[in-house]
Chain A
Amino acid sequence: MEAETQAHDDDKPAAHGNGDDHGDAGETSTDGGDTELHGLLAEFETPGALIAAARKVKNAGYTEFDCYSPFPVHGIDDAMGIKRTKLPLVVFGGGLTGLCGGLLLQWWMNAHNWPWNVSGKPTWSIPANIPIAYETTILLSVLTTFFGMWAANKLPQVWHPFFRLDRFAKVTDDGLFIGIEASDQRFELEQTKQLLVAAGATHVEECHTDARPEARTVPKAIYGVMIVLTVVALIPFALAFKARASKSSDPHWHVFSDMDFQPKAKSDQPFGEFADGRANRGEIVGTIARGNLRADDAYYRGLRDGQWITELPAAFKVDVDKLNRGQERYNIYCAPCHGFDGGGHGIVPERVALRGGAWEARNLVSSDSVAIKMPNGQLFNTISNGYNTMMGYAAQVPVDDRWAILLYVRALQRGQNATQAELPAGAQVR
């Protein structure tokens, strides 16, 4: 151990420059005269020596000191008495926030604010929400770790008194140092120096800082520039929010055409390429669209040779299913006016009467009704195309269903005009 206290005659290290502009102020304590002792910086030979010295300094009761090294020296935490950082706890909080936030985000947006059916899955379908909640958990944890660590380390802080010492530039290369701050209660320049030398320092030097007030404050201009930059950075957001909140009749502002303008004709628009100047093309004369021939007059129109048919068309096969189908369709489309029994007491006339009006739907089943006398063809035509105030149902009800309705109406008529003798045995009214 050949430690010596070299204060001023030390050879200059080859490299210097501390990222700050005080150049090689070094250990000279006399630049401007108005300086103040910051502390002592001692250099050590090996990581082992550094650990041993750190332990001695700690045991001597110092608290305002730190070790500096180009890499984390394992074992130094214990020697210096550094307590385990609370960072993991903070990160756990960050992660939990991310998890809850991620789940809440998806629940609120997809299940609550705008419930949205996607392939029949529940709007609040947790399995599908796990990936995003997982990512937000990690994201928030990472951000907490990163920024939490720098904040706890009080960085960025691009300037530090030790940077004034040329020798300190070695701290990122091969230098191992202990720095004791003058603010420590036990700090006594000579005594502390002795301690460090005794602890095995190969070099101890004093560190002075510029004590002039102007050297310690950030120029006002920097604050000004930062404020201006912040405001400028907010302008685009402000404009976007304004556009969002206000209405405008101006057309879209297109960077790219967005496929809004396409070289094609839309329906009911003029189009010069055709002789009639219209974009719409009608049916071609002399053609019929596939499946629209409808040659069966009886089935499609209830006519044979220009007369209403009285029987059912041959294309309509009668069975119980058809009758049931007819009942179901009748109850949907006809019963609101004509009533479930066909007597004309549907809910619509009832409601009109309630409001003081009078409007009757035709009774379909009384023995003297028009409907009972109509031939099948005409009744079918009535269902299809309407009668007086009744509109046609050809648009809503397919042909086969219309015949099924007719079948059911005939059944209602037959049923309500039956004689005693026609009823099956045991069902007669005595």
Chain B
Amino acid sequence: MASATEAHADDHGHGGENARETFRGITRDVTKVNLTPIGRWWYPAFGVSLLLLGMLVVAVTHLFRTGIGIWGNNNVQGWAWDITNFVFWVGIGHAGTLISAVLYLFRQDWRTSINRSAEAMTIFAVACAGIFPILHTGRPWFAWWMIPHPNDMGMWPQFRSPLMWDVFAISTYATTSILFWYMGMVPDLATLRDKSKDKVRQVVYGLLSLGWRGSARQWHRYERAYLILAALSTPLVLSVHSVVSFDFATSQNPGWHTTILPPYFVAGAIFSGFAMVMTLMLPLRHVLGLKHIITQDHIHAMCKVTVATGTIVGGAYAIELFTAWYSGNLWEWFTFRNRILGPYAWAYFIMVSCNVIAPQFFWVKKFRENLVFVWILCAFINVGMWFERFVIIVSSLARQALPGAWGYFEPTKWDFMTLAGSFGLFGTLFLLFVRFAPVVAMAEVKAVSPAAHAGKDDH
């Protein structure tokens, strides 16, 4: 990072006071979010989220009582809105792991200021994603059938089904993300423990921080474990969206069955996830007063990742289209023409303009510095990536090989309510996180700050 040289204040005493003031500043700025009354913005935001969450509860209750028929799904569109939401939310989650694990392995120190909240985003997004396939089964109270156990006839789950792979991938992903997130938080929870003034916080943070005391021997194992978890999360995050893509690609359905799908889904997931991180971070750094920790440099970096992954996604669209033509497979070629010219052309063009065209503005530094504009573009990307899944799922099913099985999906109000409600769940969890957990990884920010090298004479 920049300003590397100024840390080499050679006078120990002098450099020491500066360094310690840096550390104290980081602690002060981050812990004040949790330990001082939160800004007024939090209450209306939390209220809206709770309202949306209530809507989810209503929609789901009605679904349980009545059945999947309340949605727009039908015989042709067996997968529609629900699976779109599932893939969308899983994808959102991926940026969190990418930031926390992959960028860690690549020694991208800028990640430290955003990784905590990105990881939190991952967990809450996976929680939102998880509800959709379970609701989709129609009888969610039998979700435990997916746990490997013999049924009444001694029969086991079918492990050659990609849907079963999903169960394993998503649950492993959720477990790993939670453990990684929590482990990273322990030293910061200890900071909150030591900074809290009231008994309740002291006890709760004290228990959650497991008695962390920052011993070098503990740090040693901790760092090693952190590195291993990062190294494990990287192939994991790759596998999760690949497995999600297998749900589609192992079928013979034109538009779904193509070999590029796994990496293409992963790139799309990272793309949408980064857009979501920025959608959350830009307002958050403002209201929480963390602009000097989450700086314009971070926004530059995230914008660049967004344009890179967005362009990869655009490239994958192009390769798919080219190969559909090149293959000489009539159905494949028809499906792709149908996406562009058929009844769902409107969705296709929303997808292309939001995912491929919109991020191209991020090439230009001036646009990256206009934060309102960045935020709007990120919102567009979120919309675009939702539509990407919609196009893949719905438009492919609407026009399958037999014209007799052609259909058109129209969402009902319950579809809309469930989607909006999932945002309520996400928002509620995220706002609670902001309120009660350390939003920035203080220990990591301190460790990568130039002050962490103060007084060393090996430079």
A binding-site residues for B, Cβ under 8 Å:
1-2, 15-20, 45-51, 54, 66-77, 80, 82, 84-85, 87-88, 91, 105-106, 109-110, 113-114, 116, 118, 121, 125, 128-129, 131-132, 134-136, 138-139, 141-143, 145-146, 148-150, 152-153, 155-160, 162-163, 168-174, 200, 255-256, 258-259
Task: Apart from A19-B209, A71-B187, A158-B207, list 4 A-B contacts with CB within 8 A.
Answer: A48-B453, A66-B217, A71-B214, A105-B148
Contact residues in A for B67 (Cβ distance below 8 Å): 259
* Interchain CB contact (< 8 A) of A110 among B21, B159, B210, B456: B159
Closest 9 CB pairs of A and B: A19-B206, A48-B455, A46-B455, A45-B16, A109-B156, A156-B210, A149-B225, A174-B23, A71-B447
B202 & A19 in contact (Cβ 8 Å cutoff): yes
Contact residues in A for B443 (Cβ distance below 8 Å): 70-72
* Interchain CB contact (< 8 A) of A17 among B154, B194, B454: B194
Contact residues in A for B406 (Cβ distance below 8 Å): none
Q: Given the interface contacts A85-B224, A135-B239, does A46 sit within 8 Å of B179 by beta carbon? A: no
* Interchain CB contact (< 8 A) of B206 among A20, A54, A106, A153: A20
B229 & A76 in contact (Cβ 8 Å cutoff): no
* Interchain CB contact (< 8 A) of A70 among B161, B165, B180, B191: B191
A173 & B23 in contact (Cβ 8 Å cutoff): yes
B159 & A135 in contact (Cβ 8 Å cutoff): no
A71 & B444 in contact (Cβ 8 Å cutoff): yes
Q: Given the interface contacts A85-B224, A146-B179, does A155 sit within 8 Å of B211 by beta carbon? A: yes
Q: Given the interface contacts A48-B455, A71-B444, A139-B172, does A146 sit within 8 Å of B183 by beta carbon? A: yes
Contact residues in B for A136 (Cβ distance below 8 Å): 168, 172
Nearest B residue to A15 by beta-carbon distance?
B195
A85 & B220 in contact (Cβ 8 Å cutoff): yes
A47 & B20 in contact (Cβ 8 Å cutoff): no
CA distance A82 to B218 in the complex (A): 10
Instruction: Enumerate B215-247 residues with CB–CB distance to A below 8 Å.
Output: 215-225, 228-229, 232, 235-236, 239, 243, 246
B193 & A18 in contact (Cβ 8 Å cutoff): yes
Q: Given the interface contacts A80-B216, A158-B207, does A145 sit within 8 Å of B158 by beta carbon? A: no
Nearest B residue to A155 by beta-carbon distance?
B210
A153 & B458 in contact (Cβ 8 Å cutoff): no
30 contacts across the A-B interface (CB closer than 8 A): A2-B13, A15-B194, A16-B194, A17-B197, A18-B194, A18-B202, A45-B13, A46-B16, A48-B12, A48-B456, A70-B442, A71-B23, A73-B219, A77-B216, A77-B220, A82-B216, A82-B217, A84-B224, A109-B157, A113-B150, A114-B156, A118-B161, A139-B175, A139-B176, A146-B183, A146-B225, A150-B210, A172-B193, A172-B194, A173-B24
* Interchain CB contact (< 8 A) of B213 among A45, A106, A113, A160: A160
A48 & B141 in contact (Cβ 8 Å cutoff): no
A131 & B243 in contact (Cβ 8 Å cutoff): yes
* Interchain CB contact (< 8 A) of A109 among B139, B148, B161: B148
B210 & A157 in contact (Cβ 8 Å cutoff): yes
Nearest B residue to A176 by beta-carbon distance?
B20
Instruction: Enumerate B160-203 residues with CB–CB distance to A below 8 Å.
Output: 160-162, 164-165, 168-169, 172, 175-176, 179-180, 183, 187, 190-191, 193-197, 202-203
Nearest B residue to A20 by beta-carbon distance?
B206
Nearest A residue to B164 by beta-carbon distance?
A132
Q: Mark B420-459, 1 if CB is under 8 A from A, else 0.
A: 0000000000000000000000111011000011111110
Say yes or no: is B78 at the interface (Cβ < 8 Å to chain A): no
Among B16, B154, B160, B239, residue most surrounded by chain A Cβ atoms (within 10 Å): B160
Contact residues in B for A75 (Cβ distance below 8 Å): 456, 458
CA distance A178 to B222 in the complex (A): 19
Contact residues in B for A152 (Cβ distance below 8 Å): 221
* Interchain CB contact (< 8 A) of A138 among B190, B236, B454: B236
Q: How far is the CB of A388 from chain B (nearest CB, A)?
A: 44
Contact residues in B for A82 (Cβ distance below 8 Å): 216-217, 220
B202 & A45 in contact (Cβ 8 Å cutoff): no
* Interchain CB contact (< 8 A) of B176 among A106, A142, A170, A200: A142
B202 & A47 in contact (Cβ 8 Å cutoff): no
Contact residues in B for A19 (Cβ distance below 8 Å): 193-194, 202-203, 205-207, 209, 211
CA distance A47 to B458 in the complex (A): 12
CA distance A129 to B148 in the complex (A): 14
Say yes or no: is B65 at the interface (Cβ < 8 Å to chain A): yes
Nearest B residue to A113 by beta-carbon distance?
B156
Nearest A residue to B17 by beta-carbon distance?
A45
CA distance A256 to B187 in the complex (A): 46
* Interchain CB contact (< 8 A) of B457 among A16, A48, A109, A155: A48
Say yes or no: is B212 at the interface (Cβ < 8 Å to chain A): yes
Contact residues in B for A125 (Cβ distance below 8 Å): 160
A72 & B232 in contact (Cβ 8 Å cutoff): no
* Interchain CB contact (< 8 A) of B452 among A74, A149, A158: A74
B191 & A134 in contact (Cβ 8 Å cutoff): no
Contact residues in A for B150 (Cβ distance below 8 Å): 113-114
Q: Mark B338-353, 1 if CB is under 8 A from A, else 0.
A: 0000000000000000
Contact residues in A for B23 (Cβ distance below 8 Å): 70-71, 173-174
Contact residues in A for B416 (Cβ distance below 8 Å): none
B232 & A145 in contact (Cβ 8 Å cutoff): yes
B453 & A47 in contact (Cβ 8 Å cutoff): yes
Contact residues in A for B223 (Cβ distance below 8 Å): 72
Q: Given the interface contacts A82-B217, A153-B221, does A47 sit within 8 Å of B175 by beta carbon? A: no
CA distance A161 to B24 in the complex (A): 24
Instruction: Enumerate B105-164 residues with CB–CB distance to A below 8 Å.
Output: 139, 141, 148, 150, 154-162, 164
Nearest A residue to B194 by beta-carbon distance?
A169
